[in-house]
Structure 1
Amino acid sequence: MAIRVNQDSFEVEVLQAKGPVLVDFYSDSCIPCKQMSPILSQLAEEYGEQVKIVKVNVNFDMELADRYLVMGAPTFVVFVDGKVVNHSHGVKKREEIKELIEEFIL
């Protein structure tokens, strides 16, 4: 299951994480974001420890959204060793999400 992170926990959970981290910038009022939630939960279960999947609510953490150039939800940003390595916007199929992270799995 994807875990919720915020401004206070982002440094530890994302920037200091070992291995790839997929960050889902979402909004509670966003229908496409709600459609992505079960897909992200499935992928979190499938990948286990290989990939960390976290969620950032853009309504509460606008500073993080601004920092990573999130212009709309959902936006997916992949981090490896604290650096952005992939950035994608909009609803994605399961396979498209996998393509965002597959090359970074150790």
Structure 2
Amino acid sequence: MAARVSKADFDDKVLGSSLPVLVDFYSDSCVPCKRMSPVVGDVEDEREGSLSVYKVNINFDTELAEQYDVQSVPTLLLFKGGAEVARQSGAVRKDALNAWIDDNVK
């Protein structure tokens, strides 16, 4: 399961990562977020060593949600080299998520 990241360690773990990073902005009360959790977990397991995965709970880390203009959850942000390279809102199937990652981390 993806580790939580907060404002305190976001720069180090996400922006400073040598690997591409998938960040899942979610809320505990969001049903689509709950459906995405195992999908994100599977992707994390399958891509271990080539992709880092973190979660941001927008209820506790509102500053990060505002900084990255997250308007709805779930929202997935993909970072590479310390910069956001892609954004996906809403629940998606694992195959679609993997294709989206592949398309954006070339």
Per the TM superposition, whether the score is higher than 0.5 is yes
Cα offsets for 1:46-75 (capped at 9, x unmatched) = 001100010000001111011111001100
Shift of 1:99: 2.0
**Number of equivalent positions:** 105
Q: 1:48-63 alignment to 2 at 5 Å? A: 48-63=48-63
Give yes or no for contact 1:72–1:89 (8 Å, CA) kept in 2. yes
Letter in 2 for 1:61: D
C-alpha deviation, 1:76, in angstroms: 0.4
Identify the range of structure 1 (94-103 vs 75-84) with the bigger mean alpha-carbon deviation: 94-103
Cα deviations by residue, 1:4-59 (Å, 9 ceiling, x for unpaired): 10111101110000121000000011111010011111111100110001000000
Matches for 1:1-106 after TM superposition, within 5 Å: 1-103=1-103, 104=105
> Gaps (5+ residues) in structure 2?
none
TM-score by length of 1: 0.94
The TM-score, its normalising length taken from structure 2, stands at 0.94
Query: Structure 1 residue runs of 4+, over 4 Å off?
Result: none
